[in-house]
Amino acid sequence: MMEQEVRYMKLAIDMAKQMVGQTSPNPKVGAVVVRDGEIVGIGAHMKAGEDHAEVHALNMAGDKANGATMFVTLEPCSHFGKTPPCANLVIDRGISRIYVATLDPNPVVAGRGVERLKQAGIDVHIGLLEEEATELNPFFNHFMKTSLPYVTLKAASSLDGKTATTTGESKWITGEEARRDVHHSRQEHDAILVGVQTIIEDDPQLTTRLPFGGKNPTRIILDTHLRIPRSAKVLNDREAQTLIITGSQVAMDQIEEIQSEYVQVIKLEAESIQIRSLLERMATIGITSIYVEGGATVHASFVKERCFQQLITYLAPKIIGGFTSPSIIGGAGIKYMDEAVDLQTISFEQIGDDLKIVSVLKEG
Ligand code: NDP
Ligand code: ZN
């Protein structure tokens, strides 16, 4: 019996999973309606501002929703947002039993949707495939709990941890497959962040280039004194929004000269850029996740302030060597081993010839 329920919830999770990169700032959610052992409605939330998963699935089910069982990966909403509350719709359409994988991660509203369903006499079951459903939305969950964007540090290096040669040459260390994987990660995040030195030396586009296109995240450049070359691609290609973060000392006329429909300068109140306050500021403009692509100096700042949740490392089976060639994290380093940042590796896989390692910061 339980096997059937697991199968339906898996279907809901699978549909949600496919919406990677397109629902932010909303979570990925899937829903399935089952009546007499027959799937009569399926749906996923596809885009913020558009119908929630429950609405799609219930509309598809039509009259058959009456007396049916529903499977949904996230607690139905109970507030009027851009769309009316799904909990009301579930009740109105006559669903008699519902399986909810996870409660709303926002502690302020968690349980409210479920409460409303229970009050209406619906048989509510919470926690089926909870872990898988939680893993659908690490960025959303983190943002709801902390009000700060989820930060991924990304680095690509040789097996000996080097990101460039002694003369600074770095193209390419990893293979094509690994570089394509980076484009998948880009489109999952709301923003990509680099230091101005990376712009000066590499002039990257920082866009998502996949066979079917893809969403371009906002590009964030840390540039205390507005040193960015006026010819930089991120200023001129009009492919995505670019946000340049500067310190307080940059003159207004310099800022006005660089701003355009696609380029915005955010001048912070401090003379230098503190990562923690930067993240707070980014949260206020709706950025819920950031993919930090380096360079080593910028990575070092995020590590020093412990302002990241995961590190994705691509290791290429090459040896570069050399005391002066850069490694993935720069900065001043530490003196004692007990100051080292402890991570926990959650996955590793071979991509082409390279190794992808995903590690998360140990909490607390
Ligand atoms: P970064 O790209 O890390 O830029 C560092 C600069 O960013 C700083 O000098 C500073 O300039 C500015 N900045 C502003 N605020 C901060 C802050 N809070 N923390 C850190 N930096 C801040 O420079 P790197 O020289 O370390 O790296 C650039 C090199 O790295 C390039 O050669 C590039 O090719 C390589 N690279 C390699 C990658 C790889 O995966 N292999 C990925 C990305 C880059 P200012 O004071 O003027 O604001
Ligand atoms: Zn809803």
> What is the interface pTM, i.e. ipTM, of the complex?
0.95
Q: Which residues are bridge partners to 192 per DSSP?
A: 219, 291
Ligand nearest to the CA of 315: 1
Query: Is this model's pTM higher than 0.90 or not?
Result: yes
Q: What average pLDDT does range 108-130 have in this prediction?
A: 95
Identity of the amino acid at 54: E
Ligand nearest to the CA of 275: 1
Percent of the chain with pLDDT over 70: 99
Tokens representing 247 are 């310190």
pLDDT in tens, 165-209: 999 888 889 999 999 999 999 999 999 999 999 999 999 999 999
Is the model's pLDDT at 345 over the cut of 90? yes
pLDDT at 79: 83
Q: What average pLDDT does range 90-113 have in this prediction?
A: 93
Q: What average pLDDT does range 350-363 have in this prediction?
A: 94
pLDDT at 107: 80
Q: Which residues are bridge partners to 361 per DSSP?
A: 343
Mean pLDDT, the chain, whole residue set = 95
pLDDT at 324: 92
CB under 8 Å to 38, separation ≥6 — which residues? Answer: none
pLDDT in tens, 257-314: 999 999 999 999 999 999 999 999 999 999 999 999 989 999 999 999 999 999 999 9
Percent of the chain with pLDDT over 90: 91
**Where in 168-300 does DSSP place strands (E)?**
191-195, 218-222, 242-246, 263-267, 289-294
pLDDT at 364: 57
With CA atoms as reference, report the closest residue to 122 among 67, 83, 173.
67
Q: Which residues are bridge partners to 179 per DSSP?
A: none
Q: Which residue has the tokens 């990677």?
A: 20
What secondary structure letter does DSSP report for 339? Answer: G
Is the model's pLDDT at 66 over the cut of 80? yes
Q: Which residues are bridge partners to 316 per DSSP?
A: 158
Q: Is 227 helix (H, G, I), strand (E, B) or coil?
A: coil
pLDDT at 174: 96
50, 54, 135, 239: which is the annotated catalytic residue? 54
Residue nearest to atom 13 of ligand 1 (CA): 222
Kindly indicate the confidence band of residue 1, based on its pLDDT and cuts at 50, 70 and 90.
low
Q: What average pLDDT does range 319-345 have in this prediction?
A: 94
Q: Exposed, middle or buried: residue 207 (CB in 10 Å: 0-12, 13-18, 19+)?
A: buried
Q: What average pLDDT does range 17-31 have in this prediction?
A: 95
Q: What average pLDDT does range 253-260 have in this prediction?
A: 96
pLDDT at 286: 95
pLDDT at 84: 80
Q: Which ligand 1 atom is the nearest neighbour of the CA of 299? A: 3
CA distance 194 to 325: 19
Q: Which residues are bridge partners to 39 per DSSP?
A: 34
pLDDT at 257: 95
Higher pLDDT, 82 or 296: 296
pLDDT at 81: 73
CB under 8 Å to 229, separation ≥6 — which residues? Answer: 199, 200, 203
Is the model's pLDDT at 214 over the cut of 90? no
State if residue 118 touches ligand 1 by the CB under 6 angstroms criterion.
no
pLDDT at 277: 94
- Residues having C-beta closer than 5 Å to ion ligand 2: 52, 77, 86
CB–CB of 122/92 below 8 Å? no
State if residue 224 touches ligand 1 by the CB under 6 angstroms criterion.
yes
pLDDT at 3: 92
CA of 77 to the centre of ligand 2 (A): 4
State if residue 19 touches ligand 1 by the CB under 6 angstroms criterion.
no
State if residue 295 touches ligand 1 by the CB under 6 angstroms criterion.
yes
Q: Alpha carbon of 134 to those of 56, 104, 127, 181, 186: distances in Å?
A: 21, 10, 10, 23, 21
Ligand nearest to the CA of 86: 2
Query: In the annotation, is 130 catalytic?
Result: no
State if residue 325 touches ligand 1 by the CB under 6 angstroms criterion.
no
CA distance 262 to 42: 38
Is the model's pLDDT at 82 over the cut of 80? no
CA angle 56, 290, 213 (to 5 degrees): 55
Identity of the amino acid at 237: D
pLDDT at 222: 98
